[in-house]
Amino acid sequence: MRELREQMLADLQLNGAVPSTQKNYLRIVDNLAKHFNRSPEELGENELKEYLLYLMKERHLSEGTLRFYVAAFKFLYRTTLKRELAVENIRYPRVKRKLPVVLDISEVESLFAVTKNLKHKAILMITYSSGLRVSEAARLKLTDIDSKRMMVRINQGKGGKDRYSILSRTTLDHLRQYWRKYRPTVWLFEGAENNDHIAARTIQCVFHAAKKRAGIKKPASVHTLRHSFATHLVETGTSLHHVQLLLGHRSPTTTTVYLHVSRLNLAQVTSPLDRSAKQIS
């Protein structure tokens, strides 16, 4: 099993998989081996399907998580073990399309208003105003803030892709206040340990604490700031193509979800009940 693990790791690295994907794929394969108490080399299609059903019915894993398991299995058997037949008939679970939770701009502003800590406010502001994922906000470096071009560079985002997003003037002003007080050297938001960036989990805690203080009842997470950024751009007339580039979406189809939660077109529609309100009253 150790040799198989080392070979899979080498294959992942040669294929350009980011460290987090390498770690998660290896963990999934380790769990598969522990479940059957056998090396994956000795398993086939039937065992893989049995394990996926166990994860679905006993562990109650989401469709998105199950898709990640299937991806790991397909990589293992196709690339490392060269056994395409073992995964040929294993399909990715269909993911249910859910509309994202979106905060109104007044709710976003209330999050900032109740956050008095300069560092915490800076984190929330740049996460929202540049449409960042929490992991991207955590790994920002000082050199990623381009104040001359008013842009933020995101290095190795999801899928190992670099991109640029916009830098808000309001956020830049606050970042300068933050820098004067905290004087970070490499990472924009330093963590508790020396020479390390802030943990994504810490940012999540900062968001939930602000959400509670602001009295927001929506089932929002820190990722909601990214959804809100995209939706607010669409509502102010920004093209879907530009929103796609700012978010780093591979497919424009992913970005179109924000049309469904935007009030841009719906604001022009009047409910038939309101049209007949005079007759009812």
∠235-127-215 over CA atoms, to 5°?
A: 80
Please tell me the number of Cα atoms within 13 Å of 110 on its side-chain side.
Answer: 14
- Tell me if 202 sits within 8 A of 120, measured CB to CB: no
- Tell me if 55 sits within 8 A of 61, measured CB to CB: yes
Annotated catalytic residues are 133, 158, 223, 226, 249, 258
Phi-psi region of 24 (alpha: psi -120 to 50; beta: other; left: phi over 0): alpha
Q: Is 107 exposed, middle or buried (0-12, 13-18, 19+ CB in 10 A)?
A: middle
DSSP single-letter state for residue 40: G
